[in-house]
Every structure is written in C-alpha cells, then in structure tokens.
Amino acid sequence: MAAARSAGLSADHAAELAGTLSLLSEPTRLRILYALDHVEELCVGDLAVALDVGEDATSYALRLLRAAGLVNKRKDGRVVYYRLSDDFPEPLLEHCLRRLVDLTETKRPQHGRRDRR
C-alpha cells in the first residue's frame, strides 16, 4: 500500500496518456489510422467512402488526429491528402495498432478474414 503510492502514475501523466490513447479508442479514428498505415496517403472523400462514414465525421476525426500531431495534411488543389505523421509514436503504431488487430483477430478465428502481410 505504501508501495502503491510509489508505484503511482501521477494524475497529470495519466490524464495525458489517457488523452493520447483516447484517440485510438474510437472506431472511425482507429480505422483511419489503420488505413493510413497501409496506404500512406488518402484524401477525406476517399476515406469517407472507404470507411462508409459521412465526410463531416471523417473530417472531424482527421482534425482531432491532426491536432494531436498524429497525421499531417497536404493540400493539392481542392483536395486535402492526409498521411501519418513522420513522428507518429512508434510504439503506438507498432503495438497498439498492428499488434492489437492481430490480438482481436486471433481471438475469433472463425472469422478468419486476414489481410495480407
């Protein structure tokens, strides 16, 4: 119990961590990041169609991700392309995104639908 104190994560740290992780805790954002990890660059409209969500929702999700510095945008004419930020946290990408996908897929093998790689 005294040990619990020293093992404590400060409330500030926890809040910041939770904020970062909460960006991965929403289906739309998660799918956007997952897609951008595979395709490198996509515009809002294509993402909206691919994920079958409204463009506003897509735009909103991308705005939050961008505000957190997880994605960058590149404007080409009237189209805005997004991609994962160069300094996207590697552990977040590698383990919270890629590994966890495997985790849930192996948990229900009867679905079986695996992507390549």
- Cα 53–54–56 angle (5° rounding)? 130
If one counts every other C-beta atom within 10 angstroms of the C-beta of residue 36, the result is: 21
CA–CA distance, 83 with 73 (Å, rounded to integer): 7
Residue count (the chain): 117
Give me the residues that bind DNA (CB under 7 A), please.
22, 26-29, 43-46, 48, 53-57, 59-64, 73, 75-80
Query: If binding is defined by CB under 8 A, does position 64 make contact with a copy of itself?
Result: no
From the list a copy of itself, DNA, none, which binds 62 (C-beta under 5 to 8 Å, kind-based)?
DNA
Of these, 76, 86, 109, 117, which contacts a copy of itself (CB under 8 A)? 117
Q: Which is nearer to DNA, 77 or 112 (CB)?
A: 77
Residue 36 CB, shortest distance to DNA, in Å, is 13
Of these, 44, 51, 61, 84, which contacts a copy of itself (CB under 8 A)? 51
Site size for a copy of itself (CB under 8 A) = 56
Amino acid at 45: G
CA–CA distance, 22 with 98 (Å, rounded to integer): 17
